[in-house]
Amino acid sequence: MELQTTKNSPPNATEILQALSKNIDLAKNLVGKCLKGADLIPDLEVKSILQQLEGVIKNLGSGLSLIPCSMFKNQEYAEVAVRSLSREMKNVHFETSYIQASEPKEMLQIPPLEHLLDEEAETDLYSVQDNFSLDNLQSTNIPLSIDFIKDESYSGHGNHEKSSTWSLKAFPKVGKYMEPQYPSFFCPLTRKLMDDPITIDSGVTYERWAITEWFKKFEDGSGDAICPTTGQKLASRTLSTNVALKTTIEEWKERNEATRIKIVRDALSVANPDSVILEALTYLQHLFKKKEYNKVHVCNIGMIPLIAQFLEHKDKDVRCATAEILQLLAEEDDESKEMIAKTDAISRTIKMLSTNHLPERHASLSLLLELSRSELLYEWIGSVTGCILMLITMKYNHYHDALAAKKADEILKNLENAPKNIKRMAENGLLEPLLKHLIEGTEEMQLEMGSYLGEIVLGRDTITFVAERASPALIKMIHSGNSLTRRAAFKALVRISSYHSNSSILVNAGIVSIMIEEIFTRKIYNEPMSSLGESSIILANILESGLALENLKVNSYGHTMVSDYVVYNVVHILKNTAADEVNFNLIRILLCLTKSPKAKSIIVSAVKESEVSYTLIELIDSPHEELGIMSIKLLITLAPDMGHTLADRLCKTRGQPENLIKNSSERNRITEKHAVSVNFLAKLPHQDLTLNLALFHKDTVPIILQTINEIQSGVRMGKFSNSYLEGLVGVLVRFTTTVCDPQILSLARDHNLTSVFTELLMTRSSDEVQRLSAIGLENLSAESINLSKPPPASSNKGRNLAKIHKLLLFPSLKGKRLQVCFVHKGVCSSQTTFCLFEAKAVERLLTCLDHENVAVIEAALSAVCTLLNDKVEVGNSVRILSGMDAIKHVLKVLREHRQEGVRQKSLWVIEKFLTKGEDSYVSEISKDRSLSSTLVSALHHGDIKTRRMAEKILKCLNKVPDFSTTEFLS
């Protein structure tokens, strides 16, 4: 597949593949014949099979040699392995003279690595010393030569016997690659290779410790010391180091150990069973521990990439052994660590951290710990995805694996030397390093840590901890005078102050007075940044947390946040600054200050005096949408105290007030800007005729009605739809307060506002819409008595003139018979005279009396009361309301609610029923058992108006003597 898909595929790729596949099938068939019954196959047939197998293998070698060098790209070891295998296959030769009928299977089983070391094969993939055969080596008189081949100091995974067996099995003819051992290398006493050769007076050389032990036999005075080899007496026991021989033996060892390393490399370069790979890696560890220089040699011949690839081996023991070898190599110096890092070893090692196999996890941690000691690799290791998080998790899970927790902690401490790693640790929940360097580090480190603290998102469980530890250091950095350090400190404080739970900590640290100084008085003209923006953000964040403003001192002169000093300075800066961000935060500060009655009155005075209201109105249309929203919110808050002033200045501003209605750039999406804009208009004084006429002349009412219909029908929806609807209805209500103006009256009639409010009265999604609708109906109903005119007299004289006059007054009644309203004593309709009975609104108003919201109940009662005032036919109105069970609704309201406004209106309605209605109403009302107690309570605890109404009702019910109110109350 690789040959077929690569861009540089050779033209004969298909032929190569087909030839290899064909020969592999042939080889399988031949080997299969032998394995099925080799002990029954005649010698001649076995010889024939081996000859065929030899030919097949040579063909495979020829096929491999056809693969061009370009296919291997940078895979040097793959190319070396393939080329070597190709040469060996092409030169393969099986000796049949050793085949015996009694043990053919054993002769056919080739040891795992023997094919690399065959007599006829190339002696090594890389140049080594002259070759000597095992047979020649054993035929000499060299003592214990087999120990050299076995490398008896190697202990491997098992006992000595097993390890020695492995050495012979894995490298059965390793002796032919080794430089022979010379007799002079061996001590005559120990018959082992000498490490510290010493020459005595007889000229014979021994191992130092061995000859020293020999001399101890003669210390008791039993005679002169003699040479154990020659037997001659020694005149002196002087020991002289045989420097030449010692040097020769050391060089000989180095050459043969280098050969062993190269053979291991060759074994790892080709596909081998897992057991062979594991044994080769373990033997390599043994060579490292035996001599430090072997690690240098492994690095010099470029084995690190070859070894590192086994970190992804499928066998966990192989991966574990590989990590241990790389750790030993990394101990050498930073250069070897860097060589390891240039492979994929770091990412693979970090991947191994998540294993459940403890030895593998511990080995990977040990390797990572060794690599983390290099200054060059601090950031390299920390940048690997998931590394920091996994180490922190291990650090905290010490109860699960104490050793892993300890090593992970050591690694993290090493990684702290790279500032970017400290940031990564903080992002993953380990904040202590960042805070430690912020408090104790150099100015440069504090600068970097402050910047990081301003960028990371803090978790809720660490917010308070960070604020307590970092605030003093950050405040100190602000006073340092270094502009870059100050910028970092401000950035961090902005982040910390954004969590309201930190406000008390910051206030106790003295942050408020510092921010006030930065906003009002600090001027550093040579500083490349202005602290005004950051200071205003921090102060606004703290104030929005809801702290008691009266207790926040801002300087040593006794000023607090609610003093004239603060308010007037903020207003002055707001009027004169041009930066949107600064204006936004200054308005946030003023909006927080309006929560204090004292500060709010000062703000109102300051805004009036400085005419900063023009600035606030101009900011409504700012491209910075959040600034416009915040400006409108402040205007809404100020409206109850200076509404007429704001309405006047709004009308004098170009594009206003219509832009507050026509600002819908996205027709189907309702934004917060839409909602606060219309609510601002709704909160301004409703009786302001100038503003109402301005809205009328800008044709805003059709837009309002259309938008209300879209919201009600679900065409326009969103998070702010209810608030937007409330504002739109509020703007409609303001027109109902000025229907005395002919233009507004015409508007109310043309758009049939009575019917609009009647429909909105049943809106269940918003209590405020219901309340406003009831208020609108109340305002319109109050004008019904003035608009309802009696029909003209029906006399012959002037009949045509009267008819014309009637049609002019009631154009909607053209072609209809005129009917006189029993309540308003004239011709009524819902559209022209706003009659609630004609609009069928009374039933809905009475339904609202069962509402849970007292404000809705009070507004509905107020609307009903317009039908019982002295200007209308109260008696008729009482009879009509009685037919709608109005008195039952009112009595229920009186029983369930004690709010003064609701109680007064309920008592007023009951009084009208008792005084203007029939005697039957007295009986009906007196049946309510709770009424008496309610009236007594009102008489005792109500205000003067409530007490008088309660007394009057009690008189009507014959519950008290008929004294005058003055006498009774006195």
The per-residue pLDDT for range 387-399, each reduced to its tens digit, is 999 999 999 888 8
Q: What's the CA angle centered on 125, arms 123 and 127, to 5 degrees?
A: 75
Measured between alpha carbons, how far is 290 from 292 in angstroms, rounded to an integer? 7
Measured between alpha carbons, how far is 718 from 710 in angstroms, rounded to an integer? 12
Mean pLDDT, range 443-470, rounded to an integer: 85
Give tens-digit pLDDT for 696-715: 998 889 999 998 988 888 77
Confidence class for position 525, pLDDT limits 50, 70, 90? very low
- What is residue 207's predicted lDDT score, i.e. its pLDDT? 93
801: pLDDT strictly greater than 70: no
- What is residue 77's predicted lDDT score, i.e. its pLDDT? 60
Measured between alpha carbons, how far is 83 from 61 in angstroms, rounded to an integer? 9
Q: Which residue has the tokens 């790693």?
A: 421
Higher pLDDT, 105 or 738: 738
Which of 407-421, 490-504, 752-766, 902-916 comes out lowest in average pLDDT?
902-916
- What is residue 691's predicted lDDT score, i.e. its pLDDT? 92
Contact 954, 939 (CB under 8 A): yes
17: pLDDT strictly greater than 60: yes
Confidence class for position 363, pLDDT limits 50, 70, 90? very high
Higher pLDDT, 100 or 648: 648
Q: What's the CA angle centered on 477, arms 471 and 480, to 5 degrees?
A: 150
Nearest to 938 by CA among 927, 923, 925, 948: 948
- What is residue 177's predicted lDDT score, i.e. its pLDDT? 57
Nearest to 67 by CA among 85, 52, 54, 49: 85
Confidence class for position 797, pLDDT limits 50, 70, 90? very low
CB neighbours of residue 669 within 10 Å: 13
Sequence-distant (≥ 6) Cβ neighbours of residue 162 within 8 angstroms: 156
- What is residue 137's predicted lDDT score, i.e. its pLDDT? 32
Three-state DSSP class for 869? Answer: coil
Please give the single-letter amino acid code of residue 427. E
Give tens-digit pLDDT for 670-680: 888 989 999 99
- What is residue 54's predicted lDDT score, i.e. its pLDDT? 85
Q: What is the mean pLDDT of the chain?
A: 80
pTM: 0.68
Q: How many helices (H) and strands (E) does the chain have?
A: 51, 3
Measured between alpha carbons, how far is 730 from 771 in angstroms, rounded to an integer? 10
The enclosing H or E element of 81 equals: helix 76-90
Mean pLDDT, range 341-348, rounded to an integer: 90
Measured between alpha carbons, how far is 442 from 425 in angstroms, rounded to an integer? 19
8-state DSSP, 118: -
Nearest to 245 by CA among 181, 196, 209: 196
Q: Encoding tokens for residue 449?
A: 């840590």
159: pLDDT strictly greater than 80: no
Distance of CA 854 to the CA centre of its chain: 44
DSSP 124-176: -SS--S----HHHHHHS--TTHHHHHHTTT---SS-HHHHHHHHHHHSTTGGG
Q: Which residue has the tokens 């593998």?
A: 360
Residue 686 exposed, middle or buried by CB count within 10 Å (0-12, 13-18, 19+): buried
- What is residue 3's predicted lDDT score, i.e. its pLDDT? 57
CB neighbours of residue 665 within 10 Å: 9
CB neighbours of residue 444 within 10 Å: 11
Nearest to 108 by CA among 49, 174, 56: 49
Mean pLDDT, range 55-59, rounded to an integer: 87
The enclosing H or E element of 241 equals: strand 240-241
Measured between alpha carbons, how far is 281 from 258 in angstroms, rounded to an integer? 15
Nearest to 657 by CA among 623, 630, 632, 624: 632
Measured between alpha carbons, how far is 444 from 426 in angstroms, rounded to an integer? 18
- What is residue 779's predicted lDDT score, i.e. its pLDDT? 93
The enclosing H or E element of 745 equals: helix 742-750
Give tens-digit pLDDT for 229-279: 888 888 888 888 989 888 888 888 888 888 888 888 888 887 778 888 888
Three-state DSSP class for 280? Answer: helix
Mean pLDDT, range 914-920, rounded to an integer: 74
CB neighbours of residue 322 within 10 Å: 30
Confidence class for position 812, pLDDT limits 50, 70, 90? very low
List phi, psi (to 5°) of 836.
-70, -30
Mean pLDDT, range 797-820, rounded to an integer: 48
- What is residue 2's predicted lDDT score, i.e. its pLDDT? 58
Q: Encoding tokens for residue 287?
A: 């060579």
Confidence class for position 959, pLDDT limits 50, 70, 90? low
Give tens-digit pLDDT for 707-738: 898 888 877 777 888 999 999 999 999 999 99
Measured between alpha carbons, how far is 708 from 394 in angstroms, rounded to an integer? 59
Sequence-distant (≥ 6) Cβ neighbours of residue 586 within 8 angstroms: 536, 570, 573, 574, 577
Give tens-digit pLDDT for 481-518: 678 888 888 989 998 998 888 888 999 888 898 899 88
Confidence class for position 663, pLDDT limits 50, 70, 90? low
CB neighbours of residue 354 within 10 Å: 12
190: pLDDT strictly greater than 80: yes
Confidence class for position 793, pLDDT limits 50, 70, 90? low
Give tens-digit pLDDT for 594-626: 999 999 999 999 998 888 889 899 999 888 989
The enclosing H or E element of 199 equals: strand 197-199
Which of 183-187, 797-801, 958-962 comes out lowest in average pLDDT?
797-801
Measured between alpha carbons, how far is 347 from 141 in angstroms, rounded to an integer? 53
- What is residue 126's predicted lDDT score, i.e. its pLDDT? 31
Q: Encoding tokens for residue 593?
A: 């200050």
List phi, psi (to 5°) of 240.
-115, 125
Higher pLDDT, 427 or 116: 427
The percentage of the chain sitting over the pLDDT mark of 70, rounded to a whole number, equals 82
- What is residue 262's predicted lDDT score, i.e. its pLDDT? 84
Mean pLDDT, range 127-152, rounded to an integer: 35
List phi, psi (to 5°) of 186.
-105, 140
Q: Which residue has the tokens 């296959």?
A: 89
How many CA atoms lie less than 13 Å away from 16 in the CB half-sphere?
17
755: pLDDT strictly greater than 90: yes
The enclosing H or E element of 197 equals: strand 197-199
The enclosing H or E element of 205 equals: strand 205-207
132: pLDDT strictly greater than 50: no
- What is residue 577's predicted lDDT score, i.e. its pLDDT? 77
- What is residue 809's predicted lDDT score, i.e. its pLDDT? 43
Can you state the percent helix, strand and coil of the chain, rounding each to 5?
A: 65, 0, 35
Helices (H), 431-502: 432-440, 443-455, 463-478, 483-497
Three-state DSSP class for 231? Answer: coil
The percentage of the chain sitting over the pLDDT mark of 90, rounded to a whole number, equals 23
966: pLDDT strictly greater than 60: no
What residues form DSSP beta bridges with 241? 198
DSSP 686-702: TT-HHHHHHHHHTTHHH
DSSP 328-342: HHHTS-HHHHHHHHT
Nearest to 948 by CA among 904, 909, 917: 904
Confidence class for position 683, pLDDT limits 50, 70, 90? very high
- What is residue 102's predicted lDDT score, i.e. its pLDDT? 37
97: pLDDT strictly greater than 70: no
Nearest to 518 by CA among 544, 547, 493, 496: 493
Confidence class for position 807, pLDDT limits 50, 70, 90? very low
Give tens-digit pLDDT for 853-885: 999 999 999 999 998 888 888 888 888 888 888
DSSP 666-680: STTB--HHHHHHHHH
Please give the single-letter amino acid code of residue 714. G
968: pLDDT strictly greater than 60: no
What residues form DSSP beta bridges with 789? 827
